[in-house]
Amino acid sequence: MGLPLDGILVVSMEQAVAGPFCSNRLKLAGARVIKIERNNGGDFARGYDTAAEGESSYFIWLNQGKESIALDLKTKDDRDIFLNMIAKADIFIQNFSPTTLSKLEIDNSTLKSINPRLICCDISGYGDVPEMMKKKSYDLLIQAESGLIDVSGSQEGLGRIGVSICDIGAGMAAHAGIVESLLLRARFNSIKDVKISLFDVAADWMTVPYIHSRYGGAAPKRVGLKHPSIAPYGAFQCSEDTTFIISIQNELEWKRFCVEVLKDPNLSKNNKFSNNTLRVKNRDLLDETIQSILLSLTDKTLKHRLEEASIAYGRLNTVKDLESHLALKKINVKNSLHDNLSIPSPPIIWEESEKKVPKFNQHNELLRKEFHDKPKEK
C-alpha cells in the first residue's frame, strides 16, 4: 500500500520549529521534502542545544528523512537550482521573515509563473499587517503579544507555556491547510495558497478568555493547576504526597464524587456547591474541604475510589515519568552522527521505517545534479 502523499514534492525554506514541524508531518505521510538551508551554517535550530547525543533536540525531532542542501540565492547558479526545484514542486513552504524573501526578489507570484500548480505556504509572525510585517517573531513573543501568558501561570506570577506552543500550533495549522489545498487541487483543479501566522493561531486559542473579557466582564484569572471556569478541577494531594489532577465535568459526576470518593453525600447538597457556577465562586472553600478529606487517603485508595466512581483523573508526572508512561509510543531516530535515539512518536505514523536526520548540506551533490537543468515544458 502506498502512502497518502507519495509522489508529492515539498521544497521548504524553513528554520526553527513552525516550518520544519509542517514539512515533517508531510514527510511522515510520504512526501519528499527538500530542506533549503542557509549556506552559512544552515537552520539555526541545529545549534539550539546538544541534548540529542551531541545534536539539537529540536532538529532531531522535526527533520527526519529530509534532504538538506545549502543554497545562496543571491548567486545565479544557486538561484537557478532553486527555481528548477520549484518548477517540479507541489508545495513551497517558507517561514523566513517577509523581508528576507523580498530582498531575494522571491515572491509567490514569481514562483507561480514558473509552476502554476504550486501551492505556496507562508508562515509568519503576524501575517500581512503592515505595521507588524517587519517585526521579528518568536514563540515566547507571540505568547506574550496574544495574551496567552496573561492566562497562564498562577496567582503569584505569569508563566510561559513549557513548550514552543505557538510555533507548534502554526506548524499544525500549516500542515492542515496544505493537505486541504492538495484536496482542492485534486478535486477541482483549483490552487489555493496557505497563509498562517503564529499570532492568528494563538488568538484563535484565546477565544474563550477573549469572550469572557469582552462580553463577560473580565478575563479568567490565572489559577495555576486549576481550571479557570470549572470546579472542582485541579490538583489535590493524598496522604503520600502524590498529586492527582481531578476533573468534575457535570452535576452527576459531582454527586458521585461526593458519595463514592469523598464519602460525604451531604457535600453535594451544600448550597455553596450546588452547581458549577457556585463551586467556582466558592472555589477556595471547596478545594480546602476536598483536600482535607483526600489527605487521609493513600495513593492506592484514592486511585481505586476514583476509578470505581468513573471520575477522570491524572497523576502530576515529571518529564522523567513520561519516559516510562504506559501510553507512550516511541520511534527510533538516527541523528546525523548515526547515534540511535528513542523519542516520542508522532500521533500518526503511516509506515515503520528507519528515520535519519540529515547532516548540513548532506544532499548537496545529488540535488545539484538532479536539478541542474531546467525542466522541459510538458
Domains and CATH numbers, the chain: 9-206+329-370 (3.40.50.10540), 233-315 (3.30.1540.10)
* pLDDT tier at 376, thresholds 50, 70, 90: low
Instruction: Give residue 335's pLDDT.
Output: 84
**Does the structure show a pLDDT above 70 at 378?**
no
Average of per-residue pLDDT across 124-142? 88
Element (H, E) at 69: strand 67-70
Q: What is the sign of the dihedral through the CA atoms of 11, 13, 18 and 20?
A: positive
Instruction: Give residue 97's pLDDT.
Output: 78
Lowest mean pLDDT among 31-40, 52-61, 328-337: 328-337
pLDDT digits (tens, 9 = 90+) for 163-206: 999 999 999 999 999 999 999 999 999 999 999 999 999 999 99
Distances (CA, A) of 83 to 103, 110, 318: 16, 10, 47
DSSP-assigned letter for residue 258: I
Distances (CA, A) of 322 to 72, 319, 326, 328: 42, 5, 9, 7
Average of per-residue pLDDT across 311-338? 92
Instruction: Give residue 155's pLDDT.
Output: 83
Instruction: Give residue 47's pLDDT.
Output: 92
Phi, psi of 371 (to 5 degrees): -110, 25
**Does the structure show a pLDDT above 70 at 76?**
yes
Instruction: Give residue 234's pLDDT.
Output: 95
Instruction: Give residue 96's pLDDT.
Output: 87
Q: Is 278 helix (H, G, I), strand (E, B) or coil?
A: helix
- Cα 352–356–360 angle (5° rounding)? 155
- Strand residue runs (E) in 152-223: 153-154, 157-158, 194-197
pLDDT digits (tens, 9 = 90+) for 341-375: 999 999 998 987 778 999 999 999 999 999 987 77
Q: Is 133 exposed, middle or buried (0-12, 13-18, 19+ CB in 10 A)?
A: middle
Percent of the chain beyond pLDDT 70?
99
* pLDDT tier at 104, thresholds 50, 70, 90: confident
Return the C-alpha cell found at 235: 490538583
- Strand residue runs (E) in 215-347: 233-237, 243-247, 312-315, 330-334, 340-344
Q: How far apart are CA 378 and CA 373, in angstroms?
A: 15
Average of per-residue pLDDT across 307-325? 95
Of 3, 8, 23, 63, nearest to 335 by C-alpha is 63
- Averaged confidence pLDDT in the chain: 93
- pTM of the predicted structure, to 2 decimals: 0.91
